[in-house]
């Protein structure tokens, strides 16, 4: 089953997506997401210039061998661009294999380990009360788990709080990438730490103990500040506190861990098992957020999950709207099949994106299912995609009140 064609498709139905489409001599095609938000064309060029020539003529069934060929064969290992490109190839090969055998990909991954996949949605509001109302709408819509982010008094814009009125809509996609040059937001750790415990006190008071509550710190704190926040949130029993500190130094998490039992989730920016090996082996985290597109595809993500399983760490795949429906489909096959699944992040894409990427996955009662279509169950309408050309876009940057650049 030789690969005879490999196409890199860049489109922007509301935001940029890079998709790899591989076709075999039998006419079977497979898709892989290759989107790296704000750095899309670097991955497109990596695929087009460096990987496509290696793929033509290869046997599409040799998924494991191809993974190592691309990883070890590059000599330069790892990093988000390389690993996103490898992920796209790997995902497309699993898709082809499923279609060739006539089964959904999860059947190739060991079959279903659960009936469906619990997801969490994003509630947010300009202030605490608006955010509480937004969480309530998610609960009323059937969500069992909700991430809550509130605007911070004294700061004009806050991570996780989308502009104007979108807090009133359940499941509406939150689009942090901005076309044109990066916008700058302002940050104050003091104001943030004062607001977040009040937010969760109010959410629990209004909505009771049943709903799973999550919060994303988005890499903004020091280990000691994160330890304080984790401690102050303990009475509200969060499902997780996400990315409390930047994770370049994995040992930072020892300090947080020593001080709080609030569960910790990390890893949406990780591209390989080596980024989280220490976090997992020392049990410094509870959930690993690596996902298919940025962590080397299904082949490598499963390795991360298997290591995590040995150390009581569960999965919680990143699922923001900058990950295309191709990644979402692949993540759902992974989630359904892996034993130590924890939760899946879910933000619905806009209508144009759903039309460009028709898909078999479904959402009901706070959970998702990848569907029973052979392969991943997702396609791309190339003609429609061509009507949405690439537009340069950046993620925001963040400065402290005195102008110092901070993590966004």
Which positions touch ligand GCO (CB under 6 A)?
Answer: 37, 176, 216, 218, 268, 318, 320, 322, 345, 395
Rounded Cα gap, residues 10 and 391, in angstroms: 10
Q: How far is the CB of 176 from ligand GCO (least distance, A)?
A: 6
Give the residue with the Cβ less far from ligand GCO, 319 or 375.
Answer: 319
Q: Is 218 a catalytic residue?
A: yes
Task: Report yes or no: 148 and 123 within 8 Å, Cβ to Cβ.
Answer: yes
Q: How far is the CB of 318 from Mg ion (least distance, A)?
A: 7
Task: Report yes or no: 360 and 379 within 8 Å, Cβ to Cβ.
Answer: no
State the first-to-last Cα distance of the chain, in angstroms, to the nearest integer: 45
Of the residues 71, 143, 159, 287, only one is catalytic, namely 159
Rounded Cα gap, residues 283 and 258, in angstroms: 11
Q: How far is the CB of 160 from Mg ion (least distance, A)?
A: 8
Task: Give the residue nearest to Mg ion (CB).
Answer: 216
- Quick note: the x/- pattern for Mg ion over 249-278, rule CB under 5 A, is -------------------x----------
Span 332-351, contacts to Mg ion by CB under 5 A: none
Query: Residue from 33, 90, 175, 216 that binds Mg ion (CB under 5 A)?
Result: 216
- Residue 176 binds: one of ligand GCO, Mg ion, none (C-beta under 5 to 8 A by kind): ligand GCO
Give the residue with the Cβ less far from ligand GCO, 371 or 396.
Answer: 396
Name the token pair of 358. Answer: 């028709």
Rounded Cα gap, residues 312 and 310, in angstroms: 6
Give the residue with the Cβ less far from ligand GCO, 86 or 265.
Answer: 265
Task: Report yes or no: 10 and 45 within 8 Å, Cβ to Cβ.
Answer: no
Of the residues 218, 349, 359, 369, only one is catalytic, namely 218
Q: Name the helix (H) or strand (E) containing 125.
A: strand 117-125
Rounded Cα gap, residues 376 and 91, in angstroms: 9
Handedness of CA 334, 335, 339, 341 (dihedral sign): positive
**Neighbouring-strand partners of residue 3:** 24
Q: How far is the CB of 161 from ligand GCO (least distance, A)?
A: 11
Residues with catalytic function: 159, 218
Q: What residues make contact with Mg ion under the rule CB under 5 A?
A: 216, 268
């Amino acid at each position: 089953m030789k690969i005879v064609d490999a196409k890199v498709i860049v489109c922007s139905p509301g935001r940029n997506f890079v998709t790899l489409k591989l076709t075999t001599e039998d006419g079977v095609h497979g898709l892989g997401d290759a989107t790296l938000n704000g750095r899309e064309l670097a991955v497109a060029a990596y695929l087009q210039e460096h990987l496509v020539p290696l793929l033509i003529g290869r046997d599409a069934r040799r998924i494991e061998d191809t993974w190592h060929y691309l990883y070890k064969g590059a000599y330069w290992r790892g990093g988000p661009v390389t690993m996103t490109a490898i992920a796209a190839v790997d995902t497309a090969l699993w898709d082809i294999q499923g279609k060739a055998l006539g089964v959904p990909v999860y059947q190739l991954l060991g079959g279903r380990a659960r009936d469906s996949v619990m997801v969490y949605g994003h509630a947010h509001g300009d202030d605490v009360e608006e955010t509480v109302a937004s969480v309530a709408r998610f609960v009323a819509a059937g969500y069992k788990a909700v991430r809550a982010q509130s605007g911070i008094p004294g700061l004009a814009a806050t991570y996780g709080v989308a502009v104007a009125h979108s807090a009133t809509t359940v499941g509406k996609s939150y689009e942090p990438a901005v076309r044109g040059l990066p916008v700058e937001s302002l940050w104050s750790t003091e104001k943030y730490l004062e607001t977040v415990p009040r937010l969760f006190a109010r959410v629990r008071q209004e909505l009771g103990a049943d709903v799973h509550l999550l919060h994303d710190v988005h890499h903004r704190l020091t280990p000691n500040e994160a330890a304080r926040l984790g401690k102050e949130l303990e009475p509200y029993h969060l499902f997780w506190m996400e990315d409390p500190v930047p994770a370049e130094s994995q040992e930072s998490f020892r300090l947080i861990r020593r001080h709080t039992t609030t569960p910790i989730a990390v890893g949406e920016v990780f591209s390989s098992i080596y980024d989280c090996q220490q976090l997992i082996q020392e049990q410094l985290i509870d959930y690993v957020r690596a996902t298919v597109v940025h962590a080397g595809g299904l082949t490598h993500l499963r390795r991360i999950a298997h290591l995590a399983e040995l150390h009581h760490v569960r999965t919680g795949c990143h699922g923001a709207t900058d990950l295309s429906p191709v990644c979402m489909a692949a993540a759902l096959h992974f989630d359904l099949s892996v034993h130590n699944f924890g939760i899946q992040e879910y933000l619905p894409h806009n209508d144009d994106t759903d039309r460009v990427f028709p898909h078999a996955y479904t959402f009901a009662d706070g959970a998702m299912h990848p569907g029973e279509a052979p392969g991943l169950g997702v396609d791309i309408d190339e003609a429609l995609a061509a009507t949405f050309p690439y537009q340069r876009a950046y993620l925001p940057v963040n400065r402290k009140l005195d102008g110092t650049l901070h993590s966004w």
